[in-house]
Every structure is written in C-alpha cells, then in structure tokens.
Amino acid sequence: MDGAGLWCGEKAPKYYRRVDEHKRAMQVLITSRAPVRVDFAGAWTDVPYFSDPFTGATLNAGIQLYVNGELDAYEEEGYQPDKIVSGPSGKYRVTPESGLRVRYKSAIPAGSGLGTSAALNVVWLSLVRRTPAETMEEKMHIAALAYDIEQVLGIIGGKQDQYASAVGGINLFEFDAEEVRRQPVEIADDNVQQLQDLMVLCYTGKSRFSSNIHKNVWGNFRAGKEETVRALFTLRDTAYEAKECLETWDIQHFGELLTTQFSCMKKLDESTSNEQIEQLFELAQPMIIGGKPCGAGGGGCLLFLAKSLHHAKELANQLKRQELTVLDLQFDFVGLTVGVDD
C-alpha cells in the first residue's frame, strides 16, 4: 500500500477489522507516517551527557520526507489460540492461521543525518499502539518511548530527532534530566515559504555513522577538553538566538548562525567534516548566507541558506552537476499521523 494514502491533518479514525474473502480471516490494518527533520541549531546538546546537568536546546523542523509503516494483523474467522483435535493416530494440536506483518518504506538516503532511524522508531511504536496519536501529549509520549528504545539498545545519541518526527513543525526543544519542553517558533506564513525557497538540502552520497562520532565527542567532554565544552555551550545558546532570528525575520543573522554550528561541530571532532564537505562549502560560498551539515556531520546531508531565490536555484544546479542529489525541502507541520484504509 502506498504511504501517500495516509491521513494528514485530519482526525484519523479507529483501526478496523475486516474479513478477507479469500482467506476468510479477520484482519486489522494500521498505517503510520512520520517525517524526518532538518536541524538548524543546538545539535549535540540534546544528549544526556550534556543536557542532564546543563540543559540542552535544539532548533529544528520536520520536513516532508517520510518513513511510512504498515501493520497487518490477521487471524482465521472464529479464531481460537490453540485447540486439540483427535485423529487416527492420536491427538493433535491445531493452530489456526494467524500472524503479524510489519512493513516500512522510505525513499530517504541511508545515513542522511536527517534522523531517519528515530522516525522509524516513532512509526513502529505508533503501529503497535494500534490507536491514533491525536494529541500533542500523545505524540510527545511516543517520542519519549522511541528514545528509550535506543537507550535500551545502547545507542549513543540525542533526543531531538524523535520529538521533531513525532511533533512536526518548526520548534525549539529544551532538554533536561526531568522533561522535554517544546516552544513552537512563531513565524509568519510568508516567511515560512521564503525560508523553504532559500534553503537547499543536498545529499553528499556518503552515509555516516553518528555513533562513532558521538564516542569521540563525549570522550573529549568527559575528559574536560576546554574546546569541546565551549563549543557545546555555544551550540546550545545559539539555538535560542536562531529562534529569535526566525521570529523577527533576521534572515542574514540566521544564516550566519548556521555557519556557527558548523564551526562548533568541527571543534567537537574533526570527523564531523571531510574533504568533500569542505569542497562543497567552498563551491557554495558565493551563493549562500550560511550552512551546516545535518545531524552529527561527517557525511549525509548538507543544508545551505541561499542569498536569494536566484542563488538557491543556481546552487541546486551546480550541486546536480557534481552528480549529487538535491532533496525537495518543504516543512511538515503535522508530525506523526496514524490512519486506516479499508
């Protein structure tokens, strides 16, 4: 089933049960969709090593690139878990046909730095809940559980991806040891459109493994390396500054803050950049106000803010001539949707 058939912004009805005429089976079909995100400022400070003692802050936006999921639970009509029947050679245990199928689909490149794995966990949890997530409280709860799953698996990472995927929109999130707080960015509709038009999202063709970079960064942080500590506090503080830039529409300074993120990332660990990334920023420099790698850096996607619509188109064309993929960037203001299709 195509994920495009999911509800977007409408109240999703309860899941349904139907009879398959060929299998004579009762079925429950649940579909779910969650966006990935682009991060503007504050990355790394959502990791508990920093956020628990100092409070972290990130500014990000859900975008219309999705992880789609589908859960199909089925059982024979008149199903009973197990039954014992007698046969010529004795008694037999008979288990009626039943099962559970879960499928995922996404066109997002692997290792993109857009939080795809977190979006997948958000989708999975929404499927097994078997009920729509209709309130902000429910979506925030699913995001918290999605992060908890990664913790159980021993994955080193932050929390912003799960919350951006579940909630959607353009938000500043604050993280501490007790809770996660959401502050929606109050930005005019015309400015939202202009921001989309000026942004260029490029996939470098090289995936990266953020867990390896995280090990280096947090090793330096725990060791008290001054450059690392200063960079983290700058990343956090500029998230608030970038939010204010969007709300007052100081697009010039907002773009400069994107570049500040990149500078701080390189101070955290040299593996957050590489020769290809540096060459692409050099190529883009005449056409952009600023930019940064997405996520932990080191590959995946790069986000640029162009000086004008003309410059955005020119940059996209030049990146394509480099045989790179330019992804369509439009903001998602819905977040997680759970629906049914009969």
Give the closest residue to 281 by CA, choosing from 225, 207, 202. Answer: 202
Distance CA 138, CA 215 (A): 32
CA-CA distances (angstroms) from residue 327 to 21, 41, 157, 313? 42, 20, 25, 13
Q: How many alpha carbons lie under 13 Å from residue 295 in its C-beta half-sphere?
A: 31
What average pLDDT values come out for the chain (342 residues) when binned by 10 residues? 35 40 60 97 96 97 96 63 51 56 84 93 91 92 94 86 98 97 96 98 82 82 93 98 98 98 94 93 98 92 98 98 96 92 56
242: Cβ–Cβ under 8 A, 6 or more apart, which residues?
40, 41, 42, 59, 254, 257, 258
What pLDDT does 75 receive?
A: 59
What pLDDT is recorded for position 104?
Answer: 86
Burial class of 149 by CB neighbour count within 10 A (0 to 12, 13 to 18, 19+): middle
Which three-class secondary structure state does DSSP give residue 90?
strand
List the domains of the chain with CATH numbers.
Answer: 3-82+94-339 (3.30.230.120)
Q: How many CB atoms lie within 10 A of CB 263?
A: 12
Question: Cα dihedral angle (154, 157, 158, 163), rounded to 10 degrees?
Answer: -70
- Report the distance separating Cα 225 and Cα 206, nearest Å: 29
Neighbours of 159 (CB within 10 A): 23
In this predicted structure, what is the pLDDT of residue 10?
A: 35
Structure tokens at 69: 């999921």
Q: How far apart are CA 337 and CA 330, in angstroms?
A: 17
Output the pLDDT for position 150: 87
